[in-house]
Amino acid sequence: MSTILEIKNLNLSFHVEAGLCPTLYDVSLSLKKGEMHALVGESGCGKSVTAMSIINLLPKNAQITGGEILFDGRNVLELSNKKLRKIRGSEIALIPQDPMTSLDPLYTIGNQLLEVIEKDKTLSKKEAKDKAIEVLSLVKIPNPEEKFEAYPHELSGGMKQRVIIAMALASNAKIIIADEPTTALDVTIQAQIMKLLKDIKEKFGTAILLITHDLGLVGEYADEVSVMYSGRIVENAQKDEFFKNMMHPYSKALMAALPANCTEKRLKTIEGQPPSIQDKIEGCRFSPRCKLYDKALCSTVPVLTDRGNAHFVACHKV
């Protein structure tokens, strides 16, 4: 399948009291039509910042210091705010972390859907409403005509998340950025939302960037996996290859920490804490927590290298 989004050597820093602190280091990944690419890592590793860079929804103190983000061949970092606004929400849609606060409480579900749909000036009011009800039905919301008239507070968290996905469908988005889309939802609803995203990907050829810390979800739904640690991609491979031959010590530690993989009474953890953006670490940023640490080798930054089968790993010891 053809590549629709390519991030090349993205570098980003934050302006803080101590000065300019690097946060993303040469991040590169690609997203193909009809595929789900999972970006995995602990909270604070840079996953969401990477995703928000694509649509330029960054905090005021963030500064992109290098790299390219190519969407349909255009470098979005070079586009004007006006052109970016046309892409954001229409060609690239965002499913944010918190479905509870992502909808405007003062407007009905129908009004908020119509705001997206009526960007297409060729549709009559009846056609726009019919399309809104159609996309509500597509995301398996029961009684879509009734829910069209409902306010957000009248819906459950799972229903709100479906409405947000319906907005992405209504805009005919080529890419959906799903930032921890199952946060705050119970396990049954999580599975329903992920199945819905998978169905959308397969039916409409939509590319999905899934931001998550849950390798269980990745194993079931993703096509490709990139593991991020402290602002760097440390491993990248197709899903089946990744789980068959996981290489990076951090990836293995994340996998071992899954409850399903713990045979002892206590859950396994990764010793130590992830570094803050202000921590000065020479070489491999995972080295302070790594059981394979080698002072001579790990003092230099490991580069993502193809270890065969398009399986890329950044580690001196594997």
Residues 95-141: tens digit of each pLDDT? 887 767 789 999 999 999 999 888 877 888 999 999 999 999 999 99
Distance CA 74, CA 267 (A): 45
pLDDT on residue 274: 87
**E strand residue ranges, the chain:** 3-16, 19-32, 36-40, 62-71, 74-75, 92-95, 175-179, 207-212, 224-229, 232-238, 305-306, 312-313
pLDDT on residue 65: 96
Distance CA 76, CA 54 (A): 7
Contacts of 4 (CB under 8 A, 6+ apart): 31, 32, 33, 71, 72, 174, 175, 207
CA distances from 212 to 14, 40, 239, 256 (A): 22, 5, 14, 17
pLDDT on residue 205: 94
pLDDT on residue 97: 78
pLDDT on residue 185: 79
Identify the CA nearest to 149 among candidates 186, 122, 111, 115: 111
Q: What is the dihedral of CA 184, 101, 217, 87, to 10 degrees?
A: 180
Q: Using 50, 70 and 90 to split pLDDT, how confident is the model at 88? A: confident
pLDDT on residue 262: 65
19: left (phi over 0), alpha (psi -120 to 50) or beta: left
- Per-residue pLDDT at 58 exceeds 70: yes
Compute φ and ψ for 152, nearest 5 degrees.
-55, -35
Residue type, 211: I
Q: Which CATH superfamily is domain 3-91+173-313 in?
A: P-loop containing nucleotide triphosphate hydrolases (3.40.50.300)
pLDDT tens readout for residues 172-183: 899 999 999 887
Q: Using 50, 70 and 90 to split pLDDT, how confident is the model at 243? A: very high
Instruction: Summarize the confidence of residues 71-81 as an average pLDDT.
Output: 91
pLDDT tens readout for residues 196-218: 999 999 999 999 999 998 898 89
Query: Would you list the DSSP string of 171-225?
Result: TT-SEEEEESTTTT--HHHHHHHHHHHHHHHHHH--EEEEEES-HHHHHHH-SEE
Cβ pair 20, 13 in contact under 8 A = yes
- Per-residue pLDDT at 263 exceeds 70: no
